[in-house]
């Protein structure tokens, strides 16, 4: 058999720092195996100070695609050869498809975020997002596209980052009122109460004992949903506190699976979920 007839193994990876928490290799390797595809998916931790140099080096190699996670979803954009319309609007990329050496950026987080709650989207009129990083951008973009969302507050530790996101969102001409706040000064909003509070900060990630990023008690009513994008640990300090208060809670696992599903489809043209579920059935 000549070398030309040996099918090449396609390589995929997740780029981020730190990456211990990531279960993406497990999800994608399973789907590749279920489909019988010759492909591998690995973790590629890149220290922030080496980011640009390492990406330029990777661009000279042969890759099928990447996922991008904390803290690089915004920083990757200037290094790409093209960015799909929605990802450009969001200002964050979590999926890259390498097409004959051209790196094209996509965002599947916004869809992954909406899927697990799509059956109750009508409930969410007043929403609070904690954080203003790459994941918060996708969540905010998803929420302002919903007709019934009347108000959206973006609260972040670094105020100017929240203000920047609010400015970007206002360009879409949404009828919702959108404003920025500091994470430590949310009390003025306690009169209003939120229907949905989303934690898109990394506070609590890999640390079940971390102090919750905020106390939801003064900001929640009896039906508020506390949605933490973190999936490891499955119950963060914020979700534990919310449960104690009798609030509805959701962690980030379903979002993870849905964003992975959409990324897998971008890379392979095939759906991820059906084949993986099928492999689990008797």
Give just the sign of the alpha carbon dihedral 80, 86, 90, 96. negative
Among 13, 31, 76, 132, binds ligand NAP (CB under 6 A): 132
Residue 71 makes contact with ligand NAP by CB under 6 A: yes
- Pick the closer one to ligand NAP by CB: 51 or 150: 51
Among 136, 140, 144, 214, binds ligand NAP (CB under 6 A): 136
Closest by Cα among 135, 128, 167 to 149: 128
Residue 256 makes contact with ligand NAP by CB under 6 A: yes
CA distance 65 to 40: 11
HSE toward the beta carbon, residue 135, CA cutoff 13 A: 24
Among 202, 236, 261, 268, binds ligand NAP (CB under 6 A): 202
Kindly state the smallest distance separating residue 12's Cβ from ligand NAP, in Å: 17
- Say which of 10, 43, 73, 147 is annotated catalytic: 73
CA distance 100 to 184: 47
Residue 229 makes contact with ligand NAP by CB under 6 A: yes
Specify the stretch interacting with ligand NAP by CB under 6 A; choose among 5-13, 164-172, 255-263, 272-280: 255-263
Q: Which residue blocks in the chain are alpha helix, DSSP H? A: 24-35, 51-58, 85-90, 109-114, 134-144, 159-170, 237-244, 253-268, 273-280
Residue 250 makes contact with ligand NAP by CB under 6 A: no
- Pick the closer one to ligand NAP by CB: 200 or 224: 200
Whether 89 contacts 145, CB under 8 Å: no
- Pick the closer one to ligand NAP by CB: 201 or 276: 201
Residue 228 makes contact with ligand NAP by CB under 6 A: no
Other C-beta atoms closer than 10 Å to the C-beta of 209 total 9
- In the bound state, the residue with its beta carbon closest to ligand NAP is 133
- Cis, peptide link before residue 166, omega less than 30° from 0: no
Restricted to residues 12-31, the positions that interact with ligand NAP (CB under 6 A) are none
* DSSP state, residue 63: -
Residue 244, class by beta-carbon neighbours within 10 Å (0-12 exposed, 13-18 middle, 19+ buried)? exposed
Residue 233 makes contact with ligand NAP by CB under 6 A: no
Give the angle subtended at the CA of 74 by the CAs of 216 and 204, to the nearest 5°: 30
What are the two backbone dihedrals, phi and then psi, of residue 60, each rounded to the nearest 5 degrees?
-85, -5
Specify the stretch interacting with ligand NAP by CB under 6 A; choose among 81-89, 132-140, 141-149, 184-192: 132-140
Specify the stretch interacting with ligand NAP by CB under 6 A; choose among 28-36, 131-139, 241-249, 264-272: 131-139
> Among this protein's residues, is 73 annotated catalytic?
yes
Q: Look-up: residue for tokens 């973006």?
A: 154
Kindly state the smallest distance separating residue 42's Cβ from ligand NAP, in Å: 18
Residue 255 makes contact with ligand NAP by CB under 6 A: yes
Kindly state the smallest distance separating residue 54's Cβ from ligand NAP, in Å: 17
Which residues make up the interface to ligand NAP (CB under 6 A)? 69-71, 73, 109, 112, 131-136, 156-158, 161, 183, 200-203, 205, 213, 229-231, 252, 255-256, 259
């Amino acid at each position: 058999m000549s070398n030309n007839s040996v099918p090449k193994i396609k390589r995929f990876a997740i780029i981020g720092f730190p990456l211990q928490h990531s279960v993406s290799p497990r999800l994608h390797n399973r789907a590749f195996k279920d489909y019988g595809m010759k492909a591998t998916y690995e973790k590629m931790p890149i220290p922030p100070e080496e980011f640009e140099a390492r990406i330029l080096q990777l661009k000279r190699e042969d890759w099928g695609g990447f996922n991008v996670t904390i803290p690089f979803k915004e920083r990757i954009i200037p290094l790409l050869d093209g960015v799909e319309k929605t990802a450009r609007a969001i200002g964050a990329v979590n999926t890259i498809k390498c097409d004959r050496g051209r790196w094209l950026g996509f965002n599947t987080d916004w869809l992954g975020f909406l899927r697990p709650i799509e059956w109750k989207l009508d409930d969410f009129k007043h929403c609070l997002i904690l954080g203003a990083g790459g994941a918060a951008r996708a969540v905010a973009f998803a929420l302002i596209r919903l007709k019934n969302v009347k108000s959206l507050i973006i609260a972040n530790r670094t105020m100017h980052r929240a203000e920047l996101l609010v400015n970007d969102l206002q360009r879409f001409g949404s009828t919702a009122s959108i404003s920025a706040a500091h994470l430590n000064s949310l009390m003025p909003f306690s009169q209003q109460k939120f229907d949905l509070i989303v934690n898109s900060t990394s506070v609590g990630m890999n640390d079940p004992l971390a102090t919750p990023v905020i106390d939801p008690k003064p900001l929640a009513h009896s039906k508020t949903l506390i949605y933490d994008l973190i999936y490891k640990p499955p119950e963060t300090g914020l979700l534990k506190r919310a449960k104690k208060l009798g609030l509805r809670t959701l962690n980030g696992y379903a979002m993870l699976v849905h964003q992975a599903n959409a990324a897998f489809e971008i890379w392979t043209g095939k759906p991820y979920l059906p084949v993986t579920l099928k492999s689990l059935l008797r």
